[in-house]
Amino acid sequence: MSKNKEWGSDFYYLSGAEYKLQIGSESSDTKFDYLYFSGRAAFRAIILNGLQQFGWKKIYVPSYYCHEVYGFVADLDIDLEFYSANPFLNEVPNTIKDEKEMVILLVNYFGLGSPNYGHLKNIFTIEDVTHNLEVINKSTAHFVFGSLRKTLPLPVGGFLQSKIKHEDVKSSFAAENVALEKLSGMYLKKAYLEGKVQNKEFYRNLLSEAEKSFADISTFGSMPRFVVDYLCSLNVTQTIEAKRLNSAKLKKLLRKSSYFDVVSAEDNSEFALVLKFVDKSSRDDLRERLISKSIFPIILWPNQIIPDDQLVEDTILLLHIDFRYGDDDLKVIANTINDADI
């Protein structure tokens, strides 16, 4: 497909038959109870429902997280209390009050696993499984939610699974506009990769400006209808399995390094290739080398607020390994990492 080759960053629009259901199939092979504009919109819907139905007073939230999500519920009448948790120390502390007017947010970081919360009997539980959609129906949390656009080639999208009934939220004009803007950027990125467009700033500007709008409360609403239709055309299981296979292949291609460790799940379910470095300078050196080769890694999440989390932020790097990439792509990524003089 590609003439302007690059790896990582935002999805392009998936228009071919690969990873889409055959014509005549009923819908996506993965079902969702409720669909929203974004993962943070789903999170807000959960909190609104909890305030109305159960009179929640406080939500315990992990310190290492995308803090913009917390900003999306900052106006609601509920106290947010941080507990220390990150991808490498993901436990529920004994300071959590296991009471019915409380709720706790738990995170499956990078697809590496969620904390053990089976001992909690009274508190309501919310689990964010953005980084591992395979565990949606395995979770025992009261509410399971996440973003879909991080794993699937969608312009926008969040979901909620729960046995507790929710009222459907209305569509949002702002959400529709942002979704169209993101979709336009995805179309232009596809054209760029195919060599039909030479200036990548067109799609980069569209995507980055749309991304800023996710913080706007006016985007709170249901998933736009055209995005729902596109989601229903995707073979979600096949898309996720492609990433799992790529993860196993890429890890076999990497040489052992004295500068980083590869952090992996036993079943290769990690969200991306996760590299944990000995220090920030080593991480930044490899990051710059990758970018110079048009390989665009991820740092999740920037702007952490406590020292332990800042250390994690400064010493990890994630690389996309999803369905977009075949064996030749994985070799390019592996060779670039292996050849890095850091």
Among candidate residues 130, 104, 102, the one with its CA nearest the CA of residue 115: 104
3-state secondary structure of 319: strand
* DSSP structure class, residue 15: -
* C-alpha–C-alpha distance, residues 140 and 129, integer Å: 12
Q: Does residue 270 fall inside a structural domain?
A: yes
pLDDT in tens, 118-150: 999 999 999 999 999 999 999 999 999 999 999
Instruction: Decide: 184 and 207 in contact? Cβ < 8 Å.
Output: no
Q: 253 Cβ partners below 8 Å, 6+ apart?
A: 330, 331, 334, 338
CA nearest neighbour of 299 among 291, 307, 69: 291
84 burial class (0-12, 13-18, 19+ CB within 10 angstroms)? middle
Domain assignment present for 177: no
Note the pLDDT tens digit of each residue in 304-332.
999 999 999 999 999 999 999 999 999 99
Which CATH number covers residue 302? 3.90.1150.10
Tell which of 161, 182, 212 closes a domain: 161
Check whether residue 61 and residue 149 sit in a common domain: yes
Query: Quick one: 252 and 148 in the same domain?
Result: no
CATH code at position 122:
3.40.640.10
Range of the domain at 55: 34-161
- Across 23-27, 92-96, 146-150, least confident range: 23-27
Query: Would residue 297 count as lying in a domain?
Result: yes
d(CA 274, CA 225): 34
Query: How many domains, in total, are found in the chain?
Result: 2
Query: At which of 161, 176, 203 does a domain end?
Result: 161
Residues 249-291: pLDDT tens digits?
A: 999 999 999 999 999 999 999 999 999 999 999 999 999 999 9
User: Do the Cβ atoms of 248 and 327 come closer than 8 Å?
Assistant: no
Residue at which a domain ends, from 139, 161, 183: 161
